[in-house]
Structure 1
Amino acid sequence: MIIDFASRPPLAEFKVQTSHMDNYRRVYRHSESAVASQESASSLASYLEMYDRLQASRVVLKARDARSTMGFRVPNETVAQFCRNHGSRFIGFAAVDPHLGGDAVAELDHAVRELGLAGLNVQGFEHMLPINDPKLMVLYEKCAELQIPVNIHCGLNFSLSSKVIYGHPLALDDVLTAFPTLRVCASPPGWPWINELVAMAWRHPNLWIGLSAVRPKLLGTPNSGYEQLLHYGRSVLKERIIFGSGFPMIPVERSVDEVLALGLPEDICRGWLHDNAAALLGVTM
């Protein structure tokens, strides 16, 4: 049984085709080609069947809203409708444009209270804002009020339209100190600042680390830069590492197999693949 914390259905309304993602297509061309060779890349029926086969209890879908900076949006309504159509397995995270100020806060409130979305997705590099920017801090405050988790893009981004520094994990310290009850997942998992992200998660008990869009085998690969995630993820952070495939950037089943191949004890492996995300999301079986 798994929870996939990062997935995108193979539907046109979920796809982002703006030029700021062009360099992502270069970086992920091999893994995306592996996905494209599978029927699930283009067929909704096969996508849904894949998660049946994997016994996924939950799959997290995320809206995106960068209207002011990158000129695109995957609307909250689109994500909410998919979740309504396909059952409780699918959990939707909202997105709002932080440059809209109070309107963004109101939109987040509506997305949670009226549309039934269960978290907030923040992609700071697309907003051209650091993780601790005041425009984002007011949204985190609203999330704490609504008692919903936040997914925050952390680490390197490959968009040549933005800056890498927007994802530096040390900025999480300001967020988690200001809002000590806020549940946060930092994903992708912080590379090339893995040590800094590990330190933040050790320091703050309400910070999880998501493996989204990263091949899990890299955690066990010498000199990859990800080794500390495996070291601490087996010990002090064993309840804070969560699985996310990043589909269709990376194949889901291959990623699950690579987690299983890391040689983790059974209980820790179960935590990474399911239980830790369930705690973040506040869900039960």
Structure 2
Amino acid sequence: MIIDYGSRPPVPAFAQTATTHLQRYRTVYQSSEKAAARQDSFEEYLAAYDALGAEHIVVKARDLETTFGWRIANEDVAAFCREQGPRFVGFAGVDPNKGMVAVRELEHAVRELGLRGLNLQCFEHKLAINDKKMYPLYAKCIELDIPVNLHCSINFATSTLMEFGRPALLDEVMVHFPELRVCAAPPGFPWVHELIGVAWRHANVHIGLVAVRPKYLSVAGSGYEPLLQYGRTILQDRIIFGSAYPLMPLERTVREIEALPLEEDVRQKWLYGNAKRFLRL
């Protein structure tokens, strides 16, 4: 049984054909995307999840209109989730640069469209995690009792700053908003220890094992090894699996988690239990 915290279905509503700012990602993840492309139809995509016993799959909207003139619309994500049924869990995407317009859009997306979280890739908004433009959205998430997904790692969009996703910035946010439920994903590289420290300090911070090959957690010198040590001990209840399909092929990503030296109950927390609790499913 798994819950995939991050997936982009191969359907037109989720296409990224106009995203020139992500061109470097296509170079970095080239081999993984080729492997994932073997499941290139929606039917094959669903069959792969069926084979792995996927109970829920999280899909996310994005609004980058101010910075990059592009979005995956909340309405499209909500329509997809309605069509596919409760297996798919939709997150809203809003643009913090739009001020209170974004706050109202988030409320509409949750109360009227039925979306169940907020997705903010702050580097794509050219804002730091702790930029005060984000604060009204964080407050609204608490009011609506929904989680927020925050990009918290290196990014490969070289027209924006890597520093926008630094985990230490999340510490300030959590001091100001201790009730905020956060999943920081990808998991912090090259500041992995920093993200672990923030999660250790703040009980509402979870770490998304997203867009990184799980096998690297057991490779000496990779920079990801601390996630294995802390993720099977003090943070075992706060590691959340996401395939980042199509950046990563689904089955390979799950198999690599299954190969990690984890107690079986911890592995099930990573693959299923932690996400179910975080998402309140």
Shorter-chain TM-score category?
over 0.9
In structure 1, the gaps of 5 or more residues are none
Between 110-119 and 15-24, report the one with greater CA deviation: 15-24
Seq. identity, %: 55
Give secondary structure in 1 for the equivalent of 2:134.
helix
> Are positions 1:222 and 2:220 aligned together?
yes
1:174 to 172, 194, 205: 172
> Are positions 1:263 and 2:264 aligned together?
no
- The equivalent of 2:35 in structure 1 is 34
Give secondary structure in 1 for the equivalent of 2:3.
strand
Residues 141-164 of structure 1 show CA distances to partners (whole Å, capped at 9, x for unaligned) of 100000000000011000011110
Residues 28-86 of structure 1 show CA distances to partners (whole Å, capped at 9, x for unaligned) of 001001112x1x2x211111121111111110000011100011000001111111011
Give secondary structure in 2 for the equivalent of 1:245.
coil
- The equivalent of 2:81 in structure 1 is 83
Give, in whole Å, the separation in 1 of the partners of 2:56 and 2:263. 23
Question: In the TM superposition, what is the alpha-carbon distance from 1:174 to its structure 2 partner?
Answer: 1.5
Which residues in structure 2 correspond to 1:7-156 (within 5 Å)?
A: 7-17=7-17, 18-36=19-37, 38=38, 40=39, 42-156=40-154
Give secondary structure in 2 for the equivalent of 1:94.
strand
Question: In the TM superposition, what is the alpha-carbon distance from 1:19 to its structure 2 partner?
Answer: 1.0
- The equivalent of 1:280 in structure 2 is 278
Which residues in structure 2 correspond to 1:198-213 (within 5 Å)?
A: 198-213=196-211
Between 238-247 and 44-53, report the one with greater CA deviation: 44-53
- The equivalent of 1:4 in structure 2 is 4
Which TM-score applies when normalising by structure 1? 0.97
Which TM-score applies when normalising by structure 2? 0.98
In structure 2, the gaps of 5 or more residues are none
Question: In the TM superposition, what is the alpha-carbon distance from 1:172 to its structure 2 partner?
Answer: 0.7
Question: In the TM superposition, what is the alpha-carbon distance from 1:116 to its structure 2 partner?
Answer: 0.2
Contact 2:13 2:77 in 1 (8 A): no
Give, in whole Å, the separation in 2 of the partners of 1:182 and 1:98. 17
Give, in whole Å, the separation in 2 of the partners of 1:194 and 1:107. 33
Give, in whole Å, the separation in 2 of the partners of 1:205 and 1:89. 27
Spell out structure 1 runs of 4+ moving beyond 6 A: none
- The equivalent of 1:251 in structure 2 is 249
Question: In the TM superposition, what is the alpha-carbon distance from 1:11 to its structure 2 partner?
Answer: 1.2
Give, in whole Å, the separation in 1 of the partners of 2:70 and 2:126. 14
Residues 219-266 of structure 1 show CA distances to partners (whole Å, capped at 9, x for unaligned) of 000000000000000100000001000000100110000001002101
Give, in whole Å, the separation in 2 of the partners of 1:5 and 1:135. 26
Which residues in structure 2 correspond to 1:156-195 (within 5 Å)?
A: 156-195=154-193
Question: In the TM superposition, what is the alpha-carbon distance from 1:12 to its structure 2 partner?
Answer: 2.2
Give secondary structure in 2 for the equivalent of 1:49.
helix
Between 17-26 and 264-273, report the one with greater CA deviation: 17-26
One-letter amino acid of the structure 1 residue matched with residue 248 of structure 2: I
One-letter amino acid of the structure 1 residue matched with residue 26 of structure 2: R
Question: In the TM superposition, what is the alpha-carbon distance from 1:13 to its structure 2 partner?
Answer: 2.0
Question: In the TM superposition, what is the alpha-carbon distance from 1:21 to its structure 2 partner?
Answer: 0.6
One-letter amino acid of the structure 2 residue matched with residue 4 of structure 1: D
